[in-house]
């Protein structure tokens, strides 16, 4: 990585959020507080931001943390902030490509102060809702916006209803993702004063947001932050916590099935300083998810070196010809995969391949022995694997059929013995000869021509 590019910001800033605020395709920065932002003016190979711009809306209070998302479906993302003043702050976006502009500040009551925020569609109505980590519970505001420019929320609902439902009273982070694959986004929250991350399974229906009771999973001490992302490439998102008290990152492998929340015991990775935030992403474009942990003075990058496996198998053997099929056994879940393979002539692509389910080869039927080699596999999470397969080649064997042997002789009585072999293309008998014995009664009458008889020989393979 290159050296950091310094940007002048208030020294009291503790959080920032990134997103394209004005639709120019460049990622801008918005800072904790009064939606102060830095417009991205970068060019290729040059990182350049405008000077810090204070939001032109006058307000005496600011936000602890912002999320950037389009609330009213007008194509422009709002800045939505968690606030210590018992509300959320929504800065409505009225930007143009040339200029970032927030035209209106809206506030919605949350009853208690909030510290962390995440946004996403919780009830399946295609509108992003707001979930907040407050001083005593999880607060949710359901998006009821009806048209562009008309942003509204239903009254806040808190989960759970009791103030002591989370451990140790310290709540530092919240994240949202579908953990069990049922199509509903669940919530994960870190219990910063203890050793757990709590998961609330989403049981909402359209128009009604609800969650099952929390389930706790053990992490390192004092998980200050939690992020969600697929670490092992199986299509299921893991929980990753930054544990301030134990100088570690905990990874909890996802074992969920639709309707059931389950995670494997934690795997810890030690970092040199106390981590306060954690993020997940593929930093070096190798198809593997890496982890970034932030401390007061450093950034720790945990590059993933684990190997995704996978194996290729073939059907057959065939006698003369057959319908060729390959089977891919994946290590990243059931699929679907996109498998690119080479058949000795060119690369072929098979789409919607599921682990363990045979698929037809591109050129079929197969009339000669052919070896197939894996070129690449696109996993269900869209990561691409090109190396480190368990078995990367498979061969479909096609055997030559037995030869028809015509024997002409004059016999009047007795037993007739025929020995036959597998005759190759050059009319030579191969070493894989066998003996076919049969008793054949043939009646020959004077004046009639000889009788032609064909015997099928067995050579001990698929051609029987």
Domains 15-302 and 311-399 share a fold: no
Q: Please provide residue 245's backbone torsions phi and psi, each rounded to the nearest 5 degrees.
A: -75, -20
- 239's CB contacts (< 8 A; 6+ apart) are 188, 197, 199, 217, 226, 227, 228, 250, 251, 252, 254, 263
What residue ranges do the domains of the chain occupy? 15-302, 311-399
Kindly indicate the confidence band of residue 459, based on its pLDDT and cuts at 50, 70 and 90: very low
Average pLDDT of the segment spanning 80-96: 89
Q: Is 253 helix (H, G, I), strand (E, B) or coil?
A: coil
Tell the CATH topology of 15-302.
Methylamine Dehydrogenase; Chain H (2.130.10)
pLDDT at 389 over 50: yes
| Bridge partners, residue 339, by sequence | 350, 377
Chain-centroid distance of CA 381 in Å reads 2
DSSP state of 77: P
282 cis-preceded (ω within 30 degrees of 0): no
Measured between alpha carbons, how far is 384 from 386 in angstroms, rounded to an integer? 7
pLDDT at 339 over 90: yes
Q: Is 213 exposed, middle or buried (0-12, 13-18, 19+ CB in 10 A)?
A: exposed
- DSSP letter string, 34-57: S--EE-B--BTTB--BPPPB--SS
Strand partners, 391: 311
- pLDDT of residue 145 exceeding 50, the answer is yes
Within 13 A of 458's CA, how many CA atoms are on the CB side?
6
Return the half-sphere exposure (C-beta side, CA atoms, 13 A cut-off) of residue 431.
Answer: 0
How far is it, in rounded angstroms, from Cα 36 to Cα 122?
A: 28
Provide, rounded to the nearest whole percent, the portion of the chain with pLDDT above 90: 44
Average pLDDT, the chain: 81
Burial of 308 (0-12, 13-18, 19+ CB in 10 A): buried
Listed range (37-41, 113-117, 431-435) with the worst mean pLDDT: 431-435
Three-state DSSP class for 245?
Answer: helix
The predicted-structure confidence for 8-20, as pLDDT tens digits, reads as follows 666 556 677 889 9
Asked whether residue 37 carries a pLDDT value surpassing 90, the answer given is no
Predicted confidence at residue 113, as pLDDT, reads 83
Beta strands in 274-346 (DSSP E): 277-281, 290-294, 299-302, 310-314, 318-319, 325-330, 337-342
Residues in the chain, overall count: 464
- What's the pLDDT tens digit per position in 397-453? 998 876 555 555 555 555 555 544 444 444 434 444 444 444 445 554 555 555 555
Predicted confidence (pLDDT) at residue 62 exceeds the cutoff of 70: no
Over pLDDT 70: what percentage of the chain? 77
- 460 or 72, greater pLDDT: 72
Q: 71 with 25: CB under 8 angstroms?
A: no
Nearest CA to 277 out of 188, 173, 176 is that of 173
**Is the Cβ–Cβ distance between 393 and 372 less than 8 Å?**
yes
Report the alpha-carbon distance of residue 14 to residue 31 in Å, rounded: 8
CATH fit for domain 311-399, picks 1.20.58, 1.20.140, 2.60.40, 3.90.25:
2.60.40
CA distance 79 to 30: 8
C-alpha span between 363 and 370 (Å, rounded):
11
- Between the alpha carbon of residue 384 and those of residues 239, 291, 340, 387, 388, the distances in Å are 22, 18, 11, 10, 12
Supply the DSSP symbol for 127: S
Q: Tokens 């929390």 label which residue?
A: 214
Instruction: Note the pLDDT of residue 461.
Output: 42
Nearest to 71 by CA among 160, 135, 153, 163: 153
Question: What distances in angstroms separate CA 199 from CA 209, 374, 391, one per listed residue?
Answer: 16, 39, 38
Query: What digits encode the pLDDT tens for the residues 272-323?
Result: 889 988 999 888 877 778 999 988 778 888 888 766 678 999 998 888 888 9
């Amino acid at each position: 990585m290159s050296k950091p590019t310094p940007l002048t910001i208030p020294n009291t800033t503790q959080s920032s959020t990134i997103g394209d605020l004005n639709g120019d395709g460049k990622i801008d920065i918005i800072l904790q507080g009064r939606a102060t932002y830095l417009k991205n003016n970068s060019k290729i190979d040059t990182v350049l931001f405008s000077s810090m711009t204070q939001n032109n809306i006058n307000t005496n209070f600011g936000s602890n943390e912002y999320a950037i998302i389009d609330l009213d479906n007008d194509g422009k993302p709002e800045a939505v902030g968690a606030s210590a003043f018992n509300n959320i702050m929504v800065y409505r976006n009225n930007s143009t490509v040339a200029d970032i502009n927030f035209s209106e500040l809206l506030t919605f009551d949350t009853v208690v102060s909030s510290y962390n925020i995440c946004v996403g569609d919780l009830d399946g109505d295609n509108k992003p809702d707001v979930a907040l980590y407050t001083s005593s519970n999880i607060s949710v505001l359901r998006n009821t916006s009806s048209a562009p420019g008309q942003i509204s929320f239903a009254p806040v609902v808190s989960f759970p209803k009791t103030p002591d439902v989370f451990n140790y009273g310290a709540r530092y982070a919240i994240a949202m993702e579908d953990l069990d694959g049922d199509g509903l986004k669940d919530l994960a929250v870190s219990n910063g004063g203890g050793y757990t991350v709590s998961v609330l399974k989403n049981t909402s229906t359209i128009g009604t947001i609800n969650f099952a009771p929390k389930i706790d999973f053990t992490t390192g001490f004092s998980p200050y932050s939690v992020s969600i992302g697929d670490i092992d490439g199986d299509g299921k998102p893991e929980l990753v916590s930054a544990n301030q008290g134990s100088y570690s990152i905990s990874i909890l492998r996802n074992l969920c099935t639709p309707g059931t929340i389950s995670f494997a015991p934690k795997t810890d990775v030690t970092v040199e300083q106390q981590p306060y935030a954690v993020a997940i992403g593929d930093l070096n474009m190798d198809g593997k998810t890496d982890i970034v942990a932030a401390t007061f003075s450093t950034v720790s990058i945990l590059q993933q070196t684990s190997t995704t496996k996978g194996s290729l198998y073939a059907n057959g053997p065939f006698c003369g010809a057959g319908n060729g099929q390959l089977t891919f056994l994946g290590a990243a879940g059931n699929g679907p995969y996109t498998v690119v393979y080479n058949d000795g002539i060119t690369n072929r692509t098979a789409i919607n391949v599921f682990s363990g389910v045979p698929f037809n080869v591109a050129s079929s039927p197969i009339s000669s022995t052919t070896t197939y080699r894996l070129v690449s596999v696109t996993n269900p999470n869209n990561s691409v694997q090109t190396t480190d397969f368990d078995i990367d080649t498979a061969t479909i064997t096609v055997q030559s059929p037995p030869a028809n042997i015509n024997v002409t002789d004059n016999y009047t009585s007795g037993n007739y013995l025929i020995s036959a072999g597998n005759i190759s293309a050059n009319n030579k008998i191969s070493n894989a000869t066998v003996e076919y014995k049969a008793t054949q009664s043939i009646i020959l009458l004077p004046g009639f021509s000889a009788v032609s008889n064909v015997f099928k020989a067995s050579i001990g393979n698929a051609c029987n």
